[in-house]
Amino acid sequence: MGAKVVKIALSGYYGFDNSGDEAVLQSILFALEEQGREQGIRIEPIVLSANPEKTSAMYGVQSYHRMKPGSLLRALREADGLISGGGSLLQDATSSKTIPYYLAVLKIAQWLGKPTFIYSQGIGPVNRRMFDGWIRGVFRRSAYISVRDAESAELLVKMRLPRERIAVVPDPVMGLPLRGEAGTSGSAEGLRTVGVSVRFWNEDRSELEALSRSLAKLLAADSNVRLRFLPFHLPSDEVASQFVIDRLGDHGSRVEMVPGIVHPQDMLAQVAGCDLLIGMRLHSLIYAASQYVPMVGISYDPKIDQFLHRLGMKAAASTSRFDADALAQDAAALLNGREAWAASKRDAIEELKAQAQFPAKSIISFFNK
């Protein structure tokens, strides 16, 4: 007799060529497969995506369009349950439509009698208080709730969700494994590679202007340093990367950009090949931590600070306060002390990697009752 088959729909920011969110999806798929194998259940994922054909081709899964009502309903009817997450799905900083969309998907699944699971989400910021009751109502009917940091848990408690129902777990991407060979670092040529992940945030680009000054100082102080720009969200991060590169002046021979990376394990390999990572994108920092690469975080959102806090670190700069000299000094110190940094963070990183499996294990156990 074969293993029990369970179809699980996955709702998140998938199919938008954002390496971080694709890494979340890949990590959840890996975790579900591993935990299902351990518990004797075969998982058949159904992914809600903005680009179903590309998602199916990339991960070998069934996929339906996330914004077409007929496709969405078909996916939820076929599924035995729905996972919402991970990522920062329930926040209204980028749009007032984000929270209603993800809650609506959950609510439809619940109306259809499907169990729903909140998978390592980062909750907030939620600036519109009318959303509190909506989130509370949908989450109370969910079979499992997990968030990726203590701050998200506290926000849900303020919304009057029982604290004992909320599991605090790492971001799923902490459990993403390397595929094949890691990226090529600069050590073979006598160079040390500093990965750089940037995005647009301030309208006046002041944070990127300041970062340009920091990177120029780093290059001027050490002739053995080269920069590798890694755009996480295409195509906008490529444009942001070029904005910084254009301001580095005479250092162009030691600066490169790796464009067009979509598959998360390809980007993970690039980060693994770095000696240091300077990042604005959350998942650039998570990739670095998972590969024991020292990181310098630039905060544009509380989620950056929350992740760094879990490793006993603070952001070196923020989009509102940016000391170019201080960031350059922090980067140089970490670059010269990579082994000591990795040794000091190893236990914390190993614990986060192990805990990244907890949500998948709980969800598979639900269907194994």
Question: What CA–CA distance (Å, rounded) separates 47 from 21?
Answer: 13
Q: Which segments of the chain have a pLDDT < 50?
A: 181-186, 188
Residues 164 and 33 in one domain: yes
Q: What is the pLDDT of residue 180?
A: 63
* Coarse DSSP helix, strand, coil percentages of the chain, rounded to the nearest 5 percent: 50, 20, 30
Look up residue 273 and give its amino acid.
G
CATH of the domain at 209: 3.40.50.2000
Query: Is 180 a member of any domain?
Result: no
Query: Is 366 a member of any domain?
Result: no
337-341: long-range contacts at Cβ-Cβ below 8 A with a sequence spacing of 24 or more? 337/294, 338/275, 338/276, 338/293, 338/294, 341/294
Query: Is 270 a member of any domain?
Result: yes
Residues 11 and 158 in one domain: yes
Q: Which of 254, 226, 259 is nearest to 242 (CA)?
A: 259
Number of domains in the chain: 2
Greatest alpha-carbon pair distance for the chain in Å reads 67
Residues 68 and 204 in one domain: no
Residues 165 and 192 in one domain: no
Residue 150 CA: distances (Å) to CA of 52, 147, 211: 33, 8, 30
Query: Is 260 a member of any domain?
Result: yes
Note down the domain range covering 237: 186-352
Query: Is 211 a member of any domain?
Result: yes
Residues 190 and 163 in one domain: no
Residues 29 and 141 in one domain: yes
Residues 343 and 309 in one domain: yes
Query: Is 58 a member of any domain?
Result: yes
Query: Is 174 a member of any domain?
Result: no
Residues 145 and 228 in one domain: no
Residues 191 and 162 in one domain: no
Q: What is the pLDDT of residue 185?
A: 46
Last residue of a domain, one of 127, 143, 169: 169
List b or e across 87-104, with b for residues whose CB sees 16 or more CB atoms inside 10 angstroms. bbbbbbeeeeebbeebbe
pLDDT in tens, 68-126: 999 999 999 999 999 999 999 999 988 999 999 999 999 999 999 999 999 999 999 99
Q: What is the pLDDT of residue 286?
A: 97
Residues 155 and 12 in one domain: yes
Residues 164 and 218 in one domain: no
Question: What CA–CA distance (Å, rounded) separates 350 from 352?
Answer: 5
Residues 18 and 148 in one domain: yes
Last residue of a domain, one of 117, 134, 169: 169
